Structure 1
């Protein structure tokens, strides 16, 4: 059976994911060492140790995301995070930075190392380099590959692959986004924040409500209409004589129906995005995917999809897995 790797943005979400059937949960410390560094999210050191103990007591693993890129001169913060993850009993750390991978391999050789999607390793040469140089045991593949491309990669590597199957999408190459840092000075890759709330402002202008990020107007909606959060790559932009979602529509990834194909392609683990989501959201998505992976492993038909109401804009896509736009 493929491993189901589930998000835990808080201790409550971790418990909900474990109870709902997660084989593993991924989470991070409450600082800039992880790429979901938002107020009210993440774990203190004590909470991490308690979360690992709870997961292990219920047969689940904990993977700690330390997946931002260290600031020059401040490497100690990231080094401490790796050490503290091991002390807490984590089953693996999810890393992206070359220097941090080297540090972990040298100073924490018994701690299993996974390569974060932030590293954007998308071909056998890159993946084999990380495996040979740093002992990486699993790579989280970027969301730019078809199922056929994933199968081809798996034939030429000797490490596990993990792929996203549900949750938010980004049009940028993983780990390479500069939009948020351009608009706000803070980026997901360095600071762990994308389109941070501290830089969001709404203003009534005539009959419209303008949603801005870092001074840039991202959306205009009629008064009384739902106002979306101003995420840069999902904004409505004017292009020629048309106004629309030039980069990406508000839509979520849902690859439930591709689970058999992903298993055949040699994928080891399925990842659900959503560390910013509520524990109720996490529990429902995890239950649905646990039923799906069990059905696939047993050779039964997949259960009926039930997650449409939880997708962004109540719309879903298989993203690049089918890549009909190539």
Structure 2
């Protein structure tokens, strides 16, 4: 199985490759990708350097062009596809049909991966994207049980990639409405769940901190309490007189214990979430998964889960806790 790791900037790309990633995924410094945070992503020269660094070591670079342009902006995304082909990326990761169609027609030699933002959760959806746009791979949304993943691997006309570790999303990717409800800017169209210009932090005399998103109170943190980047889905709200994480607790997906089962199912790539995370996160998580995958491939029958691997991953998990998420859902 291929290990696909996040690269939010050039240092993270190099660290991911050095730590054992088979491929990295990156984005341009604009709204064509779903992690368009200030200070992240690549300009043309940086991406060219990153591609050269990866290719010199036999690794690959995928470019995320996975947001949804409206008709007035489609030419901008088409230009990004052209630029990706010019730079020599190994594949683009796209969700919107117009973008996929343009890439298929203009650059048929460049591989096209269906993004998780494409929300393809059925064999019929995968078949459509394969027949219409010639996709070479699809990334499955993080809403499927492991049994559903296994069945899709049997029925899919293309190889499948799944998220193995990182921040979870409670919505079906590509269909989130929560952030645009508060800010008027959709993560699917503008690239971020909580645009930085709408985020306001305030410190108080008792050393607590509050964070608001477009004026809406999202969370309050006590002194010394770890505070994550504010999103509506992971805020704390008053419901029935009680204040708690009403929608989703901050936690990270961790499927390490499922590695043998995913391998037997035929999953071709394991994806690490976290382009918005730093190089230390990328190095630790990529290195841990590299060791686990290598041990499995060396001797599948005798593979066992190493507690040190789990400890290393938990240290970099959101909220310092992990979950199997929908993978272990009883109903499917």
Fold-level similarity (TM above 0.5): yes
SS of residue matched to 2:12:
helix
Aligned to 2:32: 33
Q: CA RMSD in A?
A: 1.6
Check the 8 A contact 1:171/1:233 in 2, yes or no.
Answer: yes
- Conserved in 1, the CA contact under 8 Å of 2:165 and 2:253? yes
Q: Secondary structure at the match of 1:36?
A: coil
Residue 230 of structure 1, CA deviation: 2.2
Corresponding residue pairs, total: 325
Once the two structures are TM-superposed, the CA of residue 226 in structure 1 deviates from its matched residue by 4.1
Question: In 1, Cα distance between the equivalents of 2:62 and 2:211?
Answer: 36
Please give the residue correspondences for 1:215-294 in structure 2 after superposition, counting only pairs within 5 Å.
215-222=215-222, 225-294=225-294
Shift of 1:325: 7.2
CA contact (8 A) 2:91 2:112 kept: yes
1:279-314 CA-to-partner distances (Å, cap 9, x unmatched) read: 111011100001111111122334332211111111
Q: What do residues 158-191 of structure 1 show as CA deviations (whole Å, max 9, x unaligned)? A: 2010000111011111111111112112221001
* Contact 1:165-1:256 within 8 A present in 2 as well: yes
Contact 1:21/1:290 (<8 A) preserved: yes
Counterpart Cα distance in 1 of 2:90 and 2:97: 20
Per-residue Cα deviation, 1:256-276 (whole angstroms, up to 9, x for no partner): 111111111111100000001
Query: Distance between the aligned counterparts of 1:86 and 1:197, measured in 2?
Result: 30
Is the Cα–Cα contact under 8 Å of residues 291 and 303 in structure 1 kept in the other structure?
no
- What is the Cα deviation at residue 74 of structure 1? 1.7
8 Å contact kept, 1:101–1:134:
yes
Residue 107 of structure 1 corresponds to: 106
Paired residues of 1:121 and 1:142 also in contact (CA < 8 A): yes
1:96-136 per-position Cα deviation (integer Å, ceiling 9, x unaligned): 00111111111111110000000100000001000011101
- 1:83 Cα deviation after fit: 1.1
Distance, in Å, in 2 between the alignment partners of 1:197 and 1:325 is 38
Aligned with 2:68: secondary structure?
coil
> What residue in structure 1 maps to residue 77 of structure 2?
78
Alignment partner, residue 319 of structure 2:
313
SS of equivalent to 1:131: helix
Q: 1:225 to 1:272 in 2, by over 3 A?
A: closer
Structure 2 gaps, min length 5: none
Aligned to 1:146: 145
Residue 18 of structure 1: how far off its partner (Å)? 0.5
Paired residues for 1:54-93 under 5 Å:
54-93=53-92
Give the whole-Å Cα distance in 1 for the aligned partners of 2:224 and 2:154: 53
TM-score (norm 1): 0.96
Larger deviation, residues 243-252 vs 225-234: 225-234
CA contact (8 A) 2:126 2:157 kept: no
* Kept in 1: contact 2:233–2:247 (CA 8 A): yes
Give 1:13's aligned residue. Answer: 12
In the aligned structure 1, how far is the partner of 2:224 from the partner of 2:96? 45
Deviation at 1:86, TM superposition (A): 1.1
SS at match of 2:81: helix
Q: Is the partner of 1:37 in helix, strand or coil?
A: coil
Structure 1 residues 14 and 222, CA, compared in 2 at 3 Å: closer, same or farther? closer
Residue number in structure 2 paired with 1:301: 304
Whole-Å separation in 2 of the counterparts to 1:58 and 1:177 = 37
* Deviations, residues 54-81 of structure 1 (Å, cap 9, x unaligned): 1010111001100011132222211111
Do the aligned residues in 2 keep the contact of 1:91 with 1:112 (CA within 8 Å)? yes
Task: List runs of 5+ in structure 1 lacking aligned partners.
Answer: none
Shift in alpha-carbon separation, 1:73–1:302, aligned structure 2, 3 A:
same
